[in-house]
Amino acid sequence: MAGNAKSPAPVVARQEQEKKARCGWQGGARVWEETEPQTKKLKSCEVGEPHKKPPKRKVVLLMAYSGKGYHGMQRNVGSSQFKTIEDDLVSALVRAGCIPENHGEDMKKMSFQRCARTDKGVSAAGQVVSLKVRLIDDILAKINSHLPSHIRILGLKRVTGGFNSKKKCDGRTYFYMLPTFAFAHRDHDVQDETYRLSAETLQQVNQLLARYKGTHNFHNFTSQKWPWEPSAQRYILDMFCEAPFERDAMEFAVIKVKGQSFMTHQIRKMVGLVVAIVKGYAPEDVLERSWGEAKVDVPKAPGLGLVLERVHFERYNRRYGNDGLHEPLDWAQEEAEVTAFKEQHIYPTIINTERQERSMAQWLSTLPMHDFSATAQAAAGPGAKVPSPQEGDGHSD
């Protein structure tokens, strides 16, 4: 009986040895036979857990940047010839530890989307991008530490998991800053820096800009767009020119426009056509003709003065802004930083570049080359006389 009571001991010892063998023990020392399964064995033997990375969450970033020297906002993966704003942004996100390096090569992996794809040389004071990032400590400071001073991340907010900044954006506000000598009559010097915008001319400018409000067919204000395409129809909520102001002995004005969305070059052509009318190169009726099916020669103002000021998420804010889980996307607390960035980086870039490169003056000198009466002649029929914009003040039919 006593022998039978002691018989389980060898069985227990053998089970203990088998357990140690499974955990990588040989004698008194622990060794690994293979390198690859080491992580799993550590976990099964509860020797310690690897360091956990911060969780990924869907957020939006409020961006401001000066677009001079960049070929627009959108990144061209695999092309290093044309530098874009997103090239610098993605690099900073990787270096700050917000996204894995392979996400920088394939931006779909981080669900990246921008509200507006700004063109070459165009700046932004309130661009918003949505993406999934690791919520590291001091995230804004770390991202900005890897960005040049003319690109800043000014704010971050959590959003719903399926949020897409482009699809959820229901309005965009741009402004176009230009020297007021652009509105001087064509008889004036092309670059008369002593010119000052009169109240009467400002009123005329605003009357013309107000005619853009509403829904129109803007196929003549972009490229490769047919008049019967539904996407050529765009809704403009407001457009006006603010009172002029002086900077460095030169007078400037700011045109603001708010719309649901804009096509490539649309705003620059909207400004360009109004300038051509005010200067006397084009008749006023060219505005209505430009919304028709016929092709109209619409001049494109320089990209230098165009700035994306803010984007709007009114429907999203009504649904989620006060649900107790998400913040409204209005950026009121960041307004002071946005204003400071414009004063420090955007306005000086526009003013200094205009003085050095004379982009507006050079463009104004090309306006006489445009034919604003071509479609009017075709509509009137053969042999009909069409008034020339060179006759009179250029504002009559």
Concerning whether 119 is annotated as a catalytic residue, the answer is yes
Residue 344: count of CB within 10 angstroms of its CB:
15
CA-to-CA distance for 266 and 205, rounded, in angstroms?
Answer: 18
CA 180 to the chain's CA centroid? 26
> What is the Cα gyration radius of the chain?
31
Residue from 187, 93, 67, 99 nearest 146 by CA: 93
Q: Could you count the other beta carbons within 10 Å of the beta carbon of residue 330?
A: 15
Q: Which residue has the tokens 């047919």?
A: 226
Residue 177 burial (CB < 10 Å; 0-12/13-18/19+)? buried
For 304-331, the DSSP string reads TTEEEEEEE-HHHHHHHTTSSSS--S--
Q: In this structure, what token pair is assigned to residue 35?
A: 């390198």
State the SS3 of 118-177. Answer: CCCCCEEEEEEEEEEEECCCCHHHHHHCCCCCCEEEEEEEECCCCCCHHHHCCEEEEEEE
Nearest in space to 152 (alpha carbons), one of 71, 60, 61: 61
- What whole-number distance in Å separates Cα of residue 129 and Cα of residue 109? 15
The number of residues making up the chain comes to 397
Nearest to 186 by CA among 2, 370, 383: 370
Burial-class residue 6 by CB neighbours within 10 Å (0-12, 13-18, 19+): exposed
Structure tokens at 378: 């075709």
Name the active-site residue from 87, 88, 106, 119. 119
> Do 247 and 180 form a contact (C-beta atoms < 8 A)?
no
For 126, 215, 321, the CA distances from 161, given in Å and listed in that order, are: 22, 33, 15
> Would you name the residues annotated as active-site residues?
119
